[in-house]
Structure 1
């Protein structure tokens, strides 16, 4: 699919994130099972899937035929970010057929000594036709990524950096400001737990939203119920 076709397909819709990393209940060492979550997501009507790891990108594309926003979560020494932090992960995602490559575009420390601006430039030079989604945590980072020439800005990291608010709800203000002040699609992502929050997020003016844990992480879902029950006693 072309960039325009992908962006048109997701406009006003909910992308579902289907991820399981090592240590989580739905991570199976022997093979990816995330294609089953993606199958359910497709049947529910999602226009695209966001997923982590090369094997999940491949399995989900084979299962669903939907465009995939791919990323790799890996923690390297000296890097504060862990979403597609180096060119190796970008290379692997491109080879796996990721339609969009998501990467950490916060302004945190990088172990290779270059800035995120330089990293984006290197990626665009190597892969001129790549579609990049910048995962950011605040307004400054979103504007910076936009000016660096990324194709999509996502509010993914709001609440997950040391310098952003830890509220357990979507960052509607950030979504609204970036949607208003940039001329590229903004995707609202992060802490969208309930359907009414999804609706409210879309009403901020973002291009689309991503919902993950509330749909595809059963441990988190079960814990949310248990916490509510305990708090009611």
Structure 2
């Protein structure tokens, strides 16, 4: 793999911990997310993925690791950092890498993915992670200028079935085709699955729910012992 930005070297072969909470949850607070991020550092995370301007700002102050920042907004299908303005705000909040919807769907502001990436990079100099839902999305995102591609949206856009665990097929195909880092993200719930992602060619693995979402973890255990 050639031509990788040296700022991504810290992520190679490592674990990225996603520190996010859903709207209305008790943990939906920047201080709580920052504490989760600090705990993830102690456990060996190589980077943090976080959502929302206040969370990104506080984690940037507290954690000396690269941060993949995003802003979930809107009711449209494209809601992960859906516009250029959202992306600029995420970069200015302190994220070294801005994650945005990298699918081929129309963006709310009418800009194409390539133009969004170009203008974001010109104005801020950040790296750009494209969250994609299929192999074709990933190839298009690479052509559009993304610095790295994540399988975040596989199973959520209608192009791929929602697999029980990570979509290893898309991960393997993109990893063997693209000359840029491919990040495994989405439904990585066990260490075994995380290891399988690395075996499939992932540059790094993002884990969120299985580490930072107590409500889901409690539900898994409660369901397992219910009779």
* TM-score higher than 0.5: yes
How many Å separate the matches in 2 of 1:37 and 1:109?
34
> How much has 1:4 moved relative to structure 2?
4.0
Report whether the alignment pairs 1:9 with 2:10. yes
> How much has 1:90 moved relative to structure 2?
1.4
Q: Secondary structure at the match of 2:161?
A: coil
Q: How does 1:107-118 map to 2 (within 5 A)?
A: 107-118=104-115
| Count of aligned positions | 224
How many Å separate the matches in 2 of 1:72 and 1:229?
36
> How much has 1:162 moved relative to structure 2?
2.5
Unaligned runs of 5+ in 2: none
Q: 1:174 aligns with which of 152, 170, 180?
A: 170
> How much has 1:224 moved relative to structure 2?
1.5
Unaligned runs of 5+ in 1: none
The corresponding residue for 1:70 is 69
Contact 2:172/2:200 (8 A) holds in 1: yes
TM-score (norm: length of structure 1): 0.90
How many Å separate the matches in 2 of 1:17 and 1:4?
22
The corresponding residue for 2:193 is 197
How many Å separate the matches in 1 of 2:179 and 2:17?
24
Report whether the alignment pairs 1:90 with 2:91. no
Q: Report which stretch shifted further, 6-15 or 220-229.
A: 220-229
| CA RMSD, 1 decimal | 1.7
> How much has 1:116 moved relative to structure 2?
2.8
Q: Secondary structure at the match of 2:120?
A: helix
Q: Secondary structure at the match of 2:146?
A: coil
The corresponding residue for 2:217 is 221
Q: 2:148 aligns with which of 149, 152, 155?
A: 152
